[in-house]
Amino acid sequence: TQLLEQSPQFLSIQEGENLTVYCNSSSVFSSLQWYRQEPGEGPVLLVTVVTGGEVKKLKRLTFQFGDARKDSSLHITAAQPGDTGLYLCAGVSGSNYQLIWGAGTKLIIKP
């Protein structure tokens, strides 16, 4: 069974601080997606990383795919209250292209 472990599960920090969320697996993924979900809403796709070692930036968010395509990280610089939400990673698995989901990181940014 393929697993995608996300850490930390919960993070509460002050506005202006930096943070990193991790997704780790023993399995190789063909690509990995990051989503953000706000309360009462569906997840929204932030980015897809495809190539090992790939780095993508979305304003203050930096996404990295591990060289071996088994892990990924999301780094937020100078976090703002608007970044509050549940961050989910999902890896695309094997020949059936099914998404393997992490359990999510609940992020709270305090003003």
Partner 1 sequence: DSGVTQTPKHLITATGQRVTLRCSPRSGDLSVYWYQQSLDQGLQFLIQYYNGEERAKGNILERFSAQQFPDLHSELNLSSLELGDSALYFCASSVGVKGDGYTFGSGTRLTVV
Among 21, 49, 83, 104, binds partner 1 (CB under 8 A): 104
Is 85 an interacting residue with respect to partner 1 (CB under 8 A)? no
* C-alpha torsion 9→59→89→42, nearest 10: 90
Smallest gap from Cβ 52 to partner 1, in A, equals 16
Is 111 an interacting residue with respect to partner 1 (CB under 8 A)? no
- Beta-carbon contacts of 96 under 8 Å, excluding residues fewer than 6 positions away, are none
Q: Where are the beta strands (DSSP E) in the chain?
A: 5-7, 10-14, 19-24, 31-37, 44-49, 55-58, 61-65, 71-76, 85-93, 98-101, 105-110
Site for partner 1 in 10-69 (CB under 8 A): 30-31, 33, 40-45, 48
By beta-carbon proximity to partner 1, the closer residue of 14 and 96 is: 96
Point out which residues bind partner 1 (CB under 8 A).
30-31, 33, 40-45, 48, 88, 92-93, 96-99, 101-104, 106
